[in-house]
Amino acid sequence: MNKYSAFRIPHSAIGKKGFTLIEIIVLIVMAGIIIPAIMVPFATGIRGSGKPEMVTKAMYLAHQRMEELMKFDYGAGTTWTTAYADIDPINFPNYQWQWEIVYVPRDNLNAVGQLNQYGGINRGYKRMMVRVRDPELTTYEVSSVVTDFP
């Protein structure tokens, strides 16, 4: 056996097993500094990860409602403005929508309008707007100008 073996030198670091109290305290202090520095950005990222899904749902709902509204005949001079209402509390909780259908104002088009049966100027164009509010109360808006010309 070698006389310089770790087992023969009583004060050698190789021959000792375990950690000293100071080493454990230093490890705890370092972990207390490093772990929060890593967890804060991670937690922030997790918290914000649901926003893209909310945006996608809100835009889907707005486009869906816009397609439904475009199917109606608006030749009778109808204009609508609704208040915000819940969409579907089971499938889309905390989502609300509102829509508005109005004639395009006279100043916006140079074409000559025709009087409709209600006495108003009917240029054949209507502006349709659908707003959807997500659970964080961010509003998304989809607009379109539609015509009833054949």
pTM tops 0.85: no
pLDDT in tens, the chain (150 residues): 555 555 555 555 555 677 889 999 999 999 999 998 888 888 887 777 778 888 888 999 899 888 888 777 665 556 678 888 888 888 888 899 998 887 765 555 544 444 444 445 555 677 888 999 998 889 999 888 877 654
Q: How far apart are CA 16 and CA 7, in angstroms?
A: 9
SS3 for 106-136 is: HHHCCCCCEECCCCCEECCEEEEEEEEECCC
Q: How far apart are CA 67 and CA 137, in angstroms?
A: 23
Give the pLDDT confidence score for residue 52 in this predicted structure.
85
Residue 24: φ, ψ to 5°? -65, -40
Task: Identify any residues that bridge with 133 across adjacent strands, giving them in sequence order.
Answer: 96, 139
